[in-house]
Amino acid sequence: MNTPPAASFKAFFSHQPQDDDGNKNTKAFTDALDDADEGRRIRNFTEDLNSIFFAADAEGKIQTLHSPKNLGGTRTRSTHKIVALVGMGARATAVQLDEKHAVKVVDLRCPNLNLIDVETTAAGIKAIPIPDDNAVVTCETTNIFLPAPWLKNAILVEDTVCPFEL
C-alpha cells in the first residue's frame, strides 16, 4: 500500500479526499456486508485497501483496523485468509481475522433507542439492561461493519476505546 506520510493513524484516516463522495453514498457502506452471498460479503469487505473498520477485542474495547486483504479464496487457495493492519507505518501489525465470524450474519437484540437517547453518560448507557435472547431482533448485521466516512471521522475524533463513551 502506497500511503502518503502522516503523523498518525488518525491523521491519515481522518477526512480523506474521497470522504465527500463516500458521504454522498452512505447506503453503499450499509449495504456492503448485507449481501446474502458470503463470498460477495468477503469481497466487499476486502476490496478497498483504504477501508477502516472497528471490532471489539477480548476485553470489549474498540480496536481500529484498516487495509483488509483476502490472501485466499482463489482457485488454487480456496480457503479465505483475511488479514488487516493495526497501527500505521513501521509499527503496523498484521492480524488474521476469523473470516467465518467476521462476515457471519448475526441477529442483534438492542435496547430500545428511547432508553439510549435519555442517557448522557457512559455509565448510564452501560447500565441499560441487555435484552434477553427471546427479545425481538432489532438488527440483522455482521460482526464487523464498514462505517461511512462521517461516522468513521466521528468515532476517530472521540479518541476512545470504550464503546459506551461513544
- C-alpha count within 13 angstroms, C-beta hemisphere, residue 48: 15
Burial category of 87 from C-beta neighbours within 10 Å (exposed 0-12, middle 13-18, buried 19 and up):
middle
Question: Who's near 50: CB < 8 A, 6+ residues apart?
Answer: 16, 18, 66, 67
Residue 11, classed as helix, strand or coil, is helix
SS3 17: coil
Q: What is the model's pLDDT at position 5?
A: 56
Q: Is 13 exposed, middle or buried (0-12, 13-18, 19+ CB in 10 A)?
A: buried
Per-residue pLDDT reduced to its tens digit, 59-95: 877 778 888 888 876 777 677 788 988 877 777 889 8
R_g of the chain computed on alpha carbons: 17
Whole-model pTM over 0.75: no
